[in-house]
């Protein structure tokens, strides 16, 4: 039978479960005519393919209940499920593994093409990089100052450059200079997620092909990649912080051998450096070795918005040495970067919302004490239908002026809900979260980055604040309230690339400001927030 025939039997109750009851309720509030079973089926197939619905055990269980008894028996038979008095129950309990005969039989029964299992092409853990990679004047000045600090005790410095100003490119010039001055030697680059690690590896290859003076190696050590210490001789080791921390716990000899061969350690997103786990890794790599230098990179040289003690600790960790992007004639480098079109000219708007949370005294204490907003308050905001209606309408207004829009949601569920409602309203919207399978995430992000003129919206939670580069993005809605100026700056940074960085002349940032909760104004404000603890 055809899959569409099966889905046509789904009633309101089944469709609400598949789409999410909260999303359906919000759709009905916006326009009851959009919530017909026929329209809801169209929305479901816009968000999910028939193949993905059958591969998910939860949705497959619901759909198989729609079979006629005789159809259920036939399907159980061709899927080689043992004879049973209850074919429906047997089908629900059956395991359907990718690439199995049972999966093939399931898809043939519904006249669907069997999804191809894409063979991932793994990049080898060791690559040779042979020896175009210029810096702008303001980047060259910053690089020279960093190199001077790295030569002087205690050989620690933090490079503070705003998002979009070429922080990684500047750092790679510093690294290539370092590798040329010492032979052989190892530079260790540390980052806290896989996207940032791969981004660094790719960027180094570009830099060394133009600036290198010999053949060196790129060693990958994150995710599934492993490391053979006997191979570590000359080049750059890109490592995930969690991966290297777990290895230290198993073998202190490992970190000792690694530290003895390295002469420079670079930590990306360096505001994380004093977190207990990361500080242990850095101390193990640097403290025992007198001549090993430490370079931190960040757009936000502090850990918090209001905890000056934590920010001062970060400053002390880098010996109060910070190189900030400076441009003669400009008090704030952001103004220069905007005027020269490295960054977009940003319109910051606030979407004020009277949440009516009725915060208790305990809630107010938690907001004051914790580094970020308590989870129970965030959950209540995510479930606020009127707040979600305002967000949807705001995105639709932005879509009149922008072709690529990012929404930063409060949770995975909140991201899914808003994507579902926007798609129901006719927009090409997707949810990208930590629950999105890796290949599907790459597909959606690549589609978002393409050159088509169709308006596209990504509702995301937790995965696109760093390591995400889509310069065409020109608008963002920050619907996730936060006390973290670091997180806020990272969200804003995704959409402010200027024309010279492949981006846009202007960008629009809409921040949902909930009553009685903190909010921020602009990335220029964030850039200078921590100056007092570094002076």
pLDDT of residue 363: 62
pLDDT of residue 346: 87
Angstrom distance (rounded) from CA 498 to CA 164? 8
Q: Which of 53, 76, 109 is the last residue of a domain?
A: 109
Do 289 and 165 lie in one domain? The reply is yes
Sheet holding 293-298, edge to edge: 126-129, 216-221, 235-240, 186-191, 262-267, 293-298, 156-160, 322-324
| Both tokens assigned to 267 | 């930590």
Q: What is the pLDDT along the chain (535 residues), one digit of tens a residue?
A: 899 999 999 998 999 999 999 999 999 999 999 899 999 999 999 989 898 899 889 999 999 999 998 998 888 888 888 766 788 888 888 888 888 888 899 899 999 988 776 666 777 888 887 548 988 888 999 999 999 999 999 999 999 888 777 889 999 999 999 999 999 999 999 988 777 888 899 999 999 999 999 999 999 999 889 999 888 999 999 999 889 988 888 888 888 899 999 999 999 888 777 778 788 888 889 989 989 999 999 877 655 544 556 678 888 889 999 998 888 888 888 888 888 888 889 888 888 887 766 666 666 666 555 545 667 777 888 888 888 999 999 999 999 999 999 999 989 999 999 999 999 999 999 999 888 887 888 888 889 888 888 999 999 987 775 556 677 889 999 988 876 666 777 788 778 888 887 788 999 999 888 776 655 545 455 545 444 444 4
Do 289 and 354 lie in one domain? The reply is no
Sign of CA dihedral 177, 183, 189, 195: positive
In 10 A of CB 42, how many CB atoms? Answer: 14
SS3 408: strand
Specify if 85 maps to a domain.
Answer: yes
| Both tokens assigned to 372 | 């970020």
Around 397, how many Cα atoms within 13 Å sit in the side-chain half-sphere? 12
DSSP letter assigned to residue 424: H
Do 418 and 471 lie in one domain? The reply is yes
Specify if 293 maps to a domain.
Answer: yes
Specify if 272 maps to a domain.
Answer: yes
| Both tokens assigned to 111 | 């006249």
Strands 262-267 vs 186-191: parallel, antiparallel or unpaired: parallel
Domain that holds residue 82: 3-109
Do 382 and 297 lie in one domain? The reply is no
The CATH number linked to 455 is 3.40.50.300
Do 520 and 398 lie in one domain? The reply is yes
pLDDT of residue 175: 97
Please state, in angstroms and as integers, the Cα–Cα distance from residue 380 to each residue in 105, 307, 373, 403, following that order: 44, 26, 12, 31
Do 135 and 64 lie in one domain? The reply is no
Q: What angle is formed at CA 313 by the lines to CA 481 and CA 483, rounded to 5 degrees?
A: 5
pLDDT of residue 533: 41
Do 91 and 134 lie in one domain? The reply is no
Please enumerate, as own/partner, the contacts of 409-412 that have beta carbons within 8 Å and a separation of 24 or more: 409/382, 409/459, 409/460, 409/461, 409/479, 409/480, 410/378, 410/379, 410/381, 410/382, 410/461, 410/479, 410/480, 410/481, 411/378, 411/379, 411/382, 411/461, 412/461, 412/462
Angstrom distance (rounded) from CA 385 to CA 397? 18
In 10 A of CB 532, how many CB atoms? Answer: 12
Do 380 and 318 lie in one domain? The reply is no
Sign of CA dihedral 192, 193, 194, 195: negative
Q: What angle is formed at CA 113 by the lines to CA 99 and CA 107, rounded to 5 degrees?
A: 65
Q: Which of 298, 324, 350 is the last residue of a domain?
A: 324
User: Residue holding tokens 């909010």?
Assistant: 519
* 161, 173 Cβ separation under 8 angstroms: no
Angstrom distance (rounded) from CA 479 to CA 485? 15
Do 291 and 360 lie in one domain? The reply is no
Specify if 335 maps to a domain.
Answer: no
Specify if 119 maps to a domain.
Answer: no
Angstrom distance (rounded) from CA 149 to CA 318? 11
pLDDT of residue 518: 55
φ, ψ for residue 517 (rounded to 5)? -115, 150
Please enumerate, as own/partner, the contacts of 323-327 that have beta carbons within 8 Å and a separation of 24 or more: 323/142, 323/145, 323/146, 323/149, 323/157, 323/158, 323/159, 323/160, 324/142, 324/160, 324/161, 325/138, 325/139, 325/142, 325/160, 325/161, 325/162, 325/165, 326/138, 326/141, 326/142, 327/138
How far is Cα of residue 118 from the mean position of the Cα atoms in its chain?
A: 23
pLDDT of residue 215: 96
| Both tokens assigned to 224 | 């599934």
Specify if 53 maps to a domain.
Answer: yes
Do 426 and 365 lie in one domain? The reply is yes
* Peptide bond connecting 184 to the previous residue in cis, omega within 30 degrees of 0: yes
pLDDT of residue 530: 42
Sign of CA dihedral 57, 62, 66, 70: positive
Q: Which of 80, 109, 138 is the last residue of a domain?
A: 109
Q: What angle is formed at CA 195 by the lines to CA 190 and CA 197, rounded to 5 degrees?
A: 25
* 155, 266 Cβ separation under 8 angstroms: no
Do 319 and 396 lie in one domain? The reply is no
Structurally, the chain folds into a number of domains equal to 3
Do 247 and 373 lie in one domain? The reply is no
Specify if 462 maps to a domain.
Answer: yes
Specify if 491 maps to a domain.
Answer: yes
What is the length of the chain?
Answer: 535
DSSP string spanning 184-245? S-EEEEEESSHHHHHHHHHHHHHHHHHH-SS-EEEEEESTT----GGG--SEEEEEEHHHHH
How far is Cα of residue 325 from the mean position of the Cα atoms in its chain?
A: 25
């Amino acid at each position: 039978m055809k899959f569409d025939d099966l889905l046509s039997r789904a009633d309101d109750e089944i469709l609400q479960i598949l789409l999410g009851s909260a999303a359906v309720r919000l759709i009905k509030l916006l326009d009851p005519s959009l919530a017909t079973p026929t329209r809801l089926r169209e929305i479901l197939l816009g968000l999910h393919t028939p193949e993905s619905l059958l591969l998910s055990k939860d949705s497959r269980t619901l759909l198989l209940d729609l079979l006629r008894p005789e159809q259920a028996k036939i399907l159980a038979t061709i899927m080689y499920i043992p004879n049973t008095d209850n074919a429906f129950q047997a089908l629900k309990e059956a395991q359907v593994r990718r690439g199995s005969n049972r999966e093939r039989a399931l898809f043939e029964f519904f006249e669907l093409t069997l999804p191809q299992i894409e063979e991932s092409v793994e990049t080898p853990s060791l690559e040779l990089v042979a020896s175009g990679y210029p810096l702008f004047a303001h980047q060259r000045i910053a690089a020279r100052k960093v190199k001077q600090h790295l030569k002087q005790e205690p050989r620690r410095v933090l490079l503070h450059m705003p998002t979009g100003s070429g922080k990684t490119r500047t750092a790679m010039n510093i690294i290539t200079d370092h590798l040329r001055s010492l032979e052989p030697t190892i530079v260790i680059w540390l980052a806290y997620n896989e996207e940032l690690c791969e981004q660094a590896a790719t960027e180094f290859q570009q830099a060394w092909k133009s600036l290198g003076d010999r053949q060196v190696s790129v060693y990958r050590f994150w995710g599934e990649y492993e490391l053979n210490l006997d191979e570590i001789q000359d080049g750059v080791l890109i490592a995930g912080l969690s991966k290297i921390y777990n290895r230290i716990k198993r073998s202190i000899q490992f970190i000792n051998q690694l530290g003895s061969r390295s002469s420079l350690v670079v930590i990306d997103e360096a505001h994380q450096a004093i977190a207990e786990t990361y500080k242990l890794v850095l101390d193990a790599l640097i403290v025992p070795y007198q001549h090993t230098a430490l370079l931190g990179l960040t757009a936000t040289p502090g850990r918090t918005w209001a905890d000056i003690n934590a920010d001062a600790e970060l400053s002390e960790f880098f010996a109060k040495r910070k190189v900030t992007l400076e441009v003669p004639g400009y008090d704030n480098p952001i103004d220069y970067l905007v005027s020269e079109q490295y960054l977009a000219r940003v319109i910051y708007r606030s979407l004020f919302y009277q949440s009516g949370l009725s915060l208790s005294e305990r809630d107010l204490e938690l907001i004051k004490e914790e580094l970020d907003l308590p989870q129970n308050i965030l959950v209540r905001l995510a479930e606020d239908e009127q707040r979600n209606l305002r967000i949807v309408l705001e995105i639709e207004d932005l879509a009149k002026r922008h072709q690529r829009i990012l929404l930063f949601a409060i949770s995975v569920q909140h991201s899914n809900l808003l994507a579902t409602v926007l798609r129901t309203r006719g927009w090409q919207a997707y949810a990208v979260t930590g629950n999105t399978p890796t290949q599907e995430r790459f597909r959606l992000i690549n589609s978002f980055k393409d050159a088509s003129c169709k308006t596209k919206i990504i509702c995301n939670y937790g995965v696109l604040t760093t390591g995400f580069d889509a310069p065409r993005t020109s608008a963002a809605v920050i619907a996730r309230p936060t006390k973290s100026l670091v997180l806020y700056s990272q969200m804003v940074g995704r959409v402010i690339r200027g024309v010279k960085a492949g981006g846009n002349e202007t960008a629009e940032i809409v921040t949902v400001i909930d009553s009685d909760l903190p909010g921020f104004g602009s990335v220029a404000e964030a850039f200078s927030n921590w100056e007092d603890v570094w002076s």
